[in-house]
């Protein structure tokens, strides 16, 4: 495959794709935002930090002679995905979106689907009194406004202080097993769980544990995906890259 691929990362799936491309001998650059203090790094080249908007990204694509871009960012990272659509259109680079299908409820699930973090805060407040928050460090301020409920916020890196006295934090990084999640829910006497509907196997143990324990789940639904060809698995992304990039080089 005669290509140089930019993978917009920050997810386990992005790391897996970069590792596999690297094993196949495809030159790959992974781009990380730099939010996590000690990120798990993929194989191959890694760059860190923003590009400076869509124009900065288009400049980067041209300067680094990138032939294809895979947006494998988290489904809730909407700005970088929009920037990628603009930058690839402007610079004539092929773009693919790699994102996992969202989770869907099964028998026994008590899911409350909402469209935003403020709505999640309101719904969790209505449903319970001891809330496990797994929505990440960046949106915590939507929950710190609620003073009459207790929150346990689990984030990769500890959030910046000050935090209100009704919020406790734990730092942990997935994957999390159903057993460990059940233990956490019981130990902390959690009666409502809040999560983004990120999809994927790494963090779905909490949903199975909540189901077993009859705990309601407030799920923030994914925002609109970027307007570009989309696949939901690493093998499909590699197949797409092979086809496009070989065709480009043949032409």
Q: In what order do the strands lie in the sheet with 217-220?
A: 111-114, 217-220, 192-196, 130-133, 150-155, 167-171
Q: Does 80 bind ligand NAP (CB under 6 A)?
A: yes
Instruction: Supply the DSSP symbol for 38.
Output: S
Residues 164-203 that bind ligand NAP (CB under 6 A): 196
Closest CA to 8 of 118, 65, 82, 63: 82
Instruction: Compute the least distance from the CB of residue 58 to ligand NAP, in Å.
Output: 11
Q: How crowded is the C-beta side of 104, counted as CA atoms within 13 Å?
A: 2
Q: Does 50 bind ligand NAP (CB under 6 A)?
A: yes
Q: Does 13 bind ligand NAP (CB under 6 A)?
A: no
Distances (CA, A) of 3 to 25, 111, 189, 248: 10, 43, 52, 9
Determine which residue in the list 1, 5, 6, 11 makes contact with ligand NAP, applying CB under 6 A. 11
Determine which residue in the list 3, 32, 190, 217 makes contact with ligand NAP, applying CB under 6 A. 32
CA distance 22 to 43: 6
Q: How many residues bind ligand NAP (CB under 6 A)?
A: 24
Q: How would DSSP label each residue in 92-153?
A: T-EEEEE-PPPP---TT--EEEESSHHHHHHHHHHH-SEEEE-S-STTTHHHHT--SSEEEE
Q: Does 52 bind ligand NAP (CB under 6 A)?
A: yes
Instruction: Compute the least distance from the CB of residue 186 to ligand NAP, in Å.
Output: 26
The residue among 50 and 164 lying less far from ligand NAP, judged by its C-beta, is: 50
The residue among 76 and 150 lying less far from ligand NAP, judged by its C-beta, is: 76
Q: Does 206 bind ligand NAP (CB under 6 A)?
A: no
The residue among 10 and 128 lying less far from ligand NAP, judged by its C-beta, is: 10
Q: Does 83 bind ligand NAP (CB under 6 A)?
A: yes
The residue among 83 and 123 lying less far from ligand NAP, judged by its C-beta, is: 83
Residue 169: is the preceding peptide bond cis (ω within 30°)? Answer: no
| List of residues contacting ligand NAP (CB under 6 A) | 8-11, 31-33, 35, 50-53, 56-57, 73-74, 76-80, 83, 136, 196
């Amino acid at each position: 495959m005669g290509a140089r691929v930019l993978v917009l990362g920050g997810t386990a799936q992005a790391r897996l794709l970069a590792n596999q491309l690297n094993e196949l001998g495809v030159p790959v650059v992974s781009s990380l935002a730099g939010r996590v203090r000690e990120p798990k790094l993929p194989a191959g080249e890694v760059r860190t930090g923003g590009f400076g908007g869509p124009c900065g990204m288009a400049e980067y694509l041209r300067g680094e002679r990138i032939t294809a871009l895979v947006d494998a960012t988290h489904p809730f990272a909407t700005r970088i995905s929009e920037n990628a659509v603009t930058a690839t259109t402007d610079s004539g680079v092929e773009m693919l979106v790699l994102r996992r299908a969202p989770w869907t409820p099964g028998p026994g699930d008590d899911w409350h689907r909402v469209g935003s973090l403020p709505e999640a805060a309101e719904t969790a407040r209505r449903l319970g009194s001891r809330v496990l928050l797994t929505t990440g460090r960046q949106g915590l301020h939507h929950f710190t406004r609620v003073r009459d409920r207790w929150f346990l916020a689990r984030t990769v890196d500890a959030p910046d202080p000050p935090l209100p006295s009704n919020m406790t934090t734990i730092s942990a990084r997935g994957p999390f097993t159903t057993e460990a999640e059940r233990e956490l829910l019981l130990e902390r006497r959690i009666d409502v769980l809040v999560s983004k509907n990120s999809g994927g196997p790494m963090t779905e143990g909490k949903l199975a544990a909540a189901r077993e324990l009859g705990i309601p789940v407030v799920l923030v639904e994914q925002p609109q995906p970027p307007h570009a060809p989309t696949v939901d698995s690493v093998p499909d992304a590699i197949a797409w890259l092979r086809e496009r990039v070989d065709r480009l080089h043949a032409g």
